[in-house]
Every structure is written in structure tokens, then in C-alpha cells.
Chain A
Amino acid sequence: MGDLSKLTIAEAREGLRKGEFTAVELAESCLGEIEGAGALNAFVHNTPEIALDQAKAADARLKAEGSDAPAMCGIPLGIKDLFCTRHVPSQAASFILDGFRPEYESTVTRNLWDAGAVMLGKLNMDEFAMGSSNETSHYGPAVNPWRRKGSEKPLTPGGSSGGSAAAVAADLCLGATGTDTGGSIRQPAAFTGIVGLKPTYGRCSRWGIVAFASSLDQAGPMVKSVRDAAIMLGAMAGHDPKDSTSMDIPVPDFEAALAGDIKGKRIGIPKEYRMEGMPGEIEKFWEEGAAMLREAGAEIVDISLPHTKYALPAYYVIAPAEASSNLARYDGVRYGHRAKLAEGEGITEMYEKTRAEGFGHEVQRRVMIGTYVLSAGFYDAYYRRAQRVRTLIRRDFDAAFEAGVDAILTPATPSSAFALGEMDDADPIRMYLNDVFTVTVNLAGLPGISVPAGLDEKGLPLGLQLIGRPWEEGELLKTAQVIEDAAGFVSKPEKWW
């Protein structure tokens, strides 16, 4: 009965239905692993009582409904701290939401609980999802379960969904929710050897998820296999009247889409992603990915996405601009932290001190950059121009898809996981470059998935990214499955925690 937490969602689904173990046993296994994994700092608020209550209910439902029970019934999950969960601390890893316990449940987590999933607790992340290494978290960084060969140096699990990635990679849970604004699901998935899927913008409701950049944010699953991504996305997705940007179209059976082959599919290799100074190792890894798809009958074609270079600069106008608007609500009035005032200080001082104390440095910087680019006289030069460039980036992808490309293959990240603290002295732009392969996908609203496909020379996992047509997550998952099967990636971090 041991090692239940190591199961994939698909394996656990089968075991639960066959009665090999109960949802309560499965949850207890995960809770035990979480208990022993404090060194990873992945879970920041544990909810064992909720987990056991939900697991008992799942067992009853599995008994009553048998194989008709939803696929996620009894599956224990970790939830990124960005999701509002009723009466459970939900603070986006920020001090400004210290003590906040929402009176409501986000639509995505509501969907998961309605499908019978079990909440183990809340997961670490970069503050307000702003970061690529989990180091901006108020809780301190989550730690990657992976280490370089022969080294004990703590590495980043990536970010912003770093706690989610570390928890899944270390088998503390079967799956986790993440959110992705510029790469925050795919980069940490790549750094920890797991699968991370950012769906098409509008596939999952954003209602109840603490907003960072509303036109870029999208929730998605972080899991141990491509099949699990299909299963979990099916439970998370769907139209929500409370989010007017969630698309009112049926949620297909993503798992059923995994059947079949990719013969004759056209896979594009964008030449602009061959960055100057790209390590030979990453280039070779990318070529091997292309070879796997060719082997499975796909046609590999060279394509051009000419505005790729401008994606990061556009992102660093649009995302801070939207963040500065979204984060205006943290004013010390309705929830979270409020600064203590000195005699004679009034409401403006309350706002200014509350926000100075409550937001960390990176969040402050981005809010102020956003304020600047939206301020009178600069709006057209920065924000409007960036949104026009964004249109061109989207058109690049449209043109590729119109020319018959079914999916695009790129590396997920420019390197494997780096050490915690390694970027401390670097200028912020260097950290931002982590998202160079992922951020285009958010700007264009497309689905993207990171699949682990090998280890580098240091013994660390590397991920390949596939980018799909809008709303065609099923086809994307099928292609990802081919890479997963061909790469046969089964490595796990050696347990040190």
C-alpha cells in the first residue's frame, strides 16, 4: 500500500475503482509525504481536515457511482496560493493578503471539488505570480527536489508556479493547479521534469483567481503525465458566466483525443527561437524532439515567426500595466494587511505605507512600471504600441497555422534549473529572459504544453514545448503524448528531503 502518492492520476483512478485502496488512504499517503517535505517549502498552508473530509465523500461517491464517478474523484491535489479557496488562506504569496480567508471559491477549484477531487493544501509561488524562480514569495522560495549531480546546492523549481512544480515532482500530490501569465506553468514544469499545460485563453474561468495580468493569465494542470494533463484539464475547464472572457463552447473529452496517431501532421520549427548563444545542449535536445515527431510520421517544417524578438518587451509593458490596475485593490481597506499610522497621518499615508509594507520589491517595481506606462502622455508610446505589436505576434502564429502547421515545437526554457540566489545580482532583464520561449504563447492566447524529455549534462530535467492552435488542446496533447512515449522520460529526483 506504500507509495500511493507516487501514482499518476490515471493509475489512481484505476486503483480506486478496483478497490485496491481508498481515497482516504491515498490522501493520507500524500499528507504523510507533505509532512516530511518541509525542506522543499512547497506547501505553505496545509488542509488535512478538508482533505480527509473530501476523501471520505469521494469514497462514498465511488461506492455509489462506481465507474460513472468523475475521473478526478478521490484524486488529491495541491492548489496554487493564487486560487481563492473558501475559508482557507489565499494570499498569492504576498504579505499584503496576510490573513485573508476568502468567503468564496474560485470556479476552477469549485469545478475540481465538484468532480470529487481532494484538496491537500495551498502551494508556494512567486508573489502575485511575478517571478521565474519562486524567490519573490513572502513565504521564502520553494526548493526544487532535483539537484545537480554531485552537488547539494539548492536549485529553483522555477516560477511562478514553483510550489506546484516541486510538489508534483516530489510526489507530495498527484497533481497541482498552476497559472501561466508568461510561462509560469511551463517553465517550472520543465525545471522539475513534469508536464505543465497552459490552455487556450478562455478555456478555464479566471473567476476567483487573484488577477495579475488579466489578458494573459490562464489556469492549467501540472501533473506527472500527458494523460493526467488531459484528465485534469477536463475537470478544470468550462464556460463560467462569472468570467466574460471564458469561452462558451463545449469542453471536449481531452483524454479520448490521445488515441490515434500524428501521421501527416505538420510540426513547425520557428527559426527565430534559435537564439544567439543558445547552449548546444538545448539545440541538440530540440533536434531530438523533432526527430521523435518525424519518426512518428509527422512532417517537420521550418517556419518563421518574425516578431518573436519583440514578445518580451511587449510583455513587460502589457503585464505590468494590467498588474498596476489589478493590484490597485490592495489598499488596506477591504482585506489583508493595513499599516499602522502615526499621529496625524491620513488615508493617503495609509495607502502608501500599506502598499510599501505589503508588496515585495519585484511587485512594487512592476506596479510602478505599469503606472508609468499608463500615465498621461506615455500611454500611446508604450501601452498602445505594445498592444499593436501584440497583434503582429498573434498574426505570425495565424499565418503559420493558415499555412497548414498543426503545432510548433520549441525548447521550453533556455536552460535547466538554476541555483537559488544565482540571479540576485543580475539585472531584472536576465531573469525575464527565462520566459523567452513561453511568453509569445500568452500574448497570442494559444495553448502550450511543456513535456519532460531528457536530462542535461548536470543531470537536470529539460522540457520541450509544443504550441497548438486555439481550442485544440486535444490535438496538442496527442502530439505531446508522442514525445512522452518516444522520450520515455522516467527519471525521478533522488530523495534528500
Chain B
Amino acid sequence: MSIDKETARRVAHLARIRVEEDQLEALAGEFNAILKFVEQLNEVDVEGVEPMTAVMPMRLKRRKDEVTDGGYPEKILANAPDAREGFFAVPKVVE
């Protein structure tokens, strides 16, 4: 499987990272080097093997569905690049 310039552009957009047009070719090359390396995994017989989902076998803890935290919007907004009237502010989303 080989990544071309178009795929690199699509992946960059999916990841929401701007990549300049003249960088796409090089990026595709880097992706291909890494993917070639990981393609060794195709040599392994994984027939009937379950994917690992829990690193350490443990039962997921349950807790009561209740509010235990919150009520401090000023702390939540303290690090925002742009906060107004108790909200995060972003560029206009709806036309």
C-alpha cells in the first residue's frame, strides 16, 4: 500500500493540520517509510487471536451516576485563548 500526494493531503485534512502544497510529496514519502516498516505485521499469523483491549485484566469499576464536580466556569475558562461572557469564543461557525 503506497500513499500518494493526494492521500497525504486527505490525511492532513482529516488530522486538521495544515500542510503546505510543496511539503505534501515529502510527507507522503515519510508515511510510506513508516508504513513499509509496520507492514512486517502482515507476516504474523493472527488467525483466532483476539485483539488486546485491556492491558491488565481488570473489571471496569462502576460508580453512581451523580454530579461530583463542577460549578467553576472561571477555572474552566482560565486558559482559553478567547473567552467571553462565560463561554469559549471561536470564529463564526454558521453562515
* Cβ A247 vs Cβ B58 within 8 A: yes
Query: Could you jot down 14 A-B contacts, CB within 8 Å?
Result: A103-B72, A202-B58, A248-B61, A316-B38, A331-B16, A353-B18, A355-B17, A365-B30, A367-B15, A368-B11, A368-B12, A375-B14, A381-B1, A386-B38
Question: Are A352 and B17 in touch, CB under 8 angstroms?
Answer: yes
Partner of A372, one of B11, B50, B93: B11
**Once bound together, how far apart are the Cα atoms of A333 and B62, in whole Å?**
32
Q: How far is the CA of A333 from the CA of B7 in the complex (A)?
A: 28
Q: Is A46 an interface residue (CB 8 A)?
A: no
B37 touching A334 by the CB < 8 A rule? no
Nearest 9 interchain pairs by C-beta: A387-B51, A335-B79, A338-B81, A445-B55, A356-B18, A352-B18, A388-B46, A351-B16, A371-B15
- Chain A residues within 8 Å of B15, by CB: 324, 355, 364, 367-368, 370-371
Give the shortest distance, in Å, between B75 (CB) and chain A (any CB). Answer: 4
Binding site for B on A (CB under 8 A): 99-103, 200-202, 215-216, 241, 244-245, 247-248, 307, 309-310, 312-314, 316-317, 324, 328, 331-338, 341, 345-353, 355-356, 359, 364-365, 367-372, 375, 381-382, 384-392, 394, 427-429, 432, 445, 470
When distances are taken between beta carbons in the complex, the residues of chain B under 8 Å from A369 are 31, 34-35
Q: Report how far A335 CA is from B41 CA in the complex, Å.
A: 38
Closest to A216 in B: B55
B81 touches A348 (CB 8 A): no
B52-69 residues with Cβ-Cβ distance < 8 A to A are 52-53, 55-56, 58, 60-61, 63
A390-B52 in contact (CB<8A)? yes
CB–CB B33/A428 < 8 A: yes
CA distance A370 to B27 in the complex (A): 14
Please give, as numbers and ranges, the residues of chain B lying within 8 Å of A391 by CB-CB distance: 49-52
Which single member of B3, B13, B51 contacts A388 (CB below 8 Å)? B51
Residue of B nearest to A359 (CB): B17
Q: CB distance A445 to B46 under 8 Å?
A: no
Query: Which residue from B34, B51, B55, B90 sits with its C-beta under 8 Å from A333?
Result: B90
When chains A and B are docked, how far (Å) is the Cα of A215 from the Cα of B3? Answer: 27
Cα(A317)–Cα(B37), bound, Å: 10
Q: Which listed residue, A215, A310, A432, touches B44 by the CB 8 Å rule?
A: A310
User: Does B40 sit within 8 A of A, measured CB to CB?
Assistant: yes
- CA–CA, A429 to B93, complex, Å? 40
| Residue from B34, B63, B81 in contact with A332 in the complex, judged by beta carbons closer than 8 Å | B81
Q: How far is the CA of A337 from the CA of B23 in the complex (A)?
A: 23
Residues from chain B with a CB closer than 8 A to the CB of A429 are 33-34, 37
Inter-chain CA distance A149–B72, complex, in Å, is 56
Given contacts A244-B61, A332-B81, A388-B50, contact A316 B34 (CB under 8 A): yes
Determine the chain A residues whose CB is within 8 A of the CB of B51 once the complex forms: 384, 387-388, 390-391
In the complex, what distance in Å separates the CA atom of A384 from the CA atom of B81? 37
State the CA gap A349–B91 with chains docked (Å): 10
Contacts of A245 in B (CB 8 A): 55-56, 58
Nearest B residue to A365 by beta-carbon distance? Answer: B30
Shortest Cβ gap from B2 to chain A (Å): 12
Is B92 interfacial (CB 8 A cutoff)?
yes
B30 partner residues in chain A, CB cutoff 8 A: 365, 428
Please name all residues of chain B whose beta carbon is closer than 8 Å to the beta carbon of A346 when the two chains form the complex: 91-93
Chain B residue with Cβ nearest A357: B18
Q: A101-B78, A247-B58, A384-B51 are in contact. List 16 more A-B contacts (CB 8 A).
A: A103-B75, A316-B37, A328-B16, A334-B76, A346-B91, A347-B91, A365-B27, A368-B12, A368-B31, A372-B7, A372-B11, A381-B1, A389-B44, A389-B46, A428-B34, A470-B56
A350–B11 CA distance with the chains assembled, in angstroms: 17
Taking a contact as CB atoms under 8 Å apart, the answer to whether B56 and A101 are in contact is: no
Give the Cβ gap from A262 to chain B, nearest Cβ, in Å: 25
Contacts of A333 in B (CB 8 A): 80-81, 88, 90
Q: Which residue of B lies closest to A385 (CB)?
A: B41
Which one, B8, B44, B80, contacts A392 given CB within 8 A? B44
Given contacts A316-B34, A335-B79, A367-B15, contact A345 B46 (CB under 8 A): no
- Contact partners of B1 in chain A: CB under 8 A: 381
The answer to whether B93 and A309 touch across the interface, beta carbons within 8 angstroms, is: no
Q: Which residue in A202, A244, A370 is a CB contact (below 8 Å) of B55?
A: A202
Q: CA of A373 to CA of B43 in the docked complex: distance in angstroms?
A: 18
In the complex, the answer to whether B55 meets A427 with C-beta atoms within 8 Å is no
Q: Are B41 and A389 in contact (CB under 8 A)?
A: yes
Q: Contact at B38–A382, with CB atoms within 8 Å?
A: yes
Q: Which residues of A contact B82 (CB under 8 A)?
A: 338
Given the complex of chains A and B, what is the CA–CA distance between A244 and B81 in angstroms? Answer: 31
Q: Which chain B residue lies CB-closest to A316?
A: B38
* Shortest distance from the beta carbon of B69 to any chain A beta carbon, whole Å: 10
Report the bound CA distance from A314 to B12 in whole Å.
Answer: 22
Q: How far is the CA of A369 from the CA of B80 in the complex (A)?
A: 28
Residues of B with C-beta under 8 A to A386: 38, 41
Question: B50's closest neighbor in chain A, by CB?
Answer: A391
A313: which B residues are within 8 A, CB to CB?
A: 37-41
Contact partners of A312 in chain B: CB under 8 A? 37
Q: Are A334 and B79 in contact (CB under 8 A)?
A: yes
Q: How far is the CB of B5 from chain A (nearest CB, A)?
A: 14
Complex partner residue of A355 from B16, B41, B53, CB under 8 angstroms: B16
With known contacts A248-B61, A333-B88, A387-B53, A371–B14 Cβ distance under 8 A: yes
Kindly provide the distance from the CB of A317 to the nearest chain B CB, expressed in whole angstroms: 5
Residues of B within 8 A of A244 (CB): 60-61
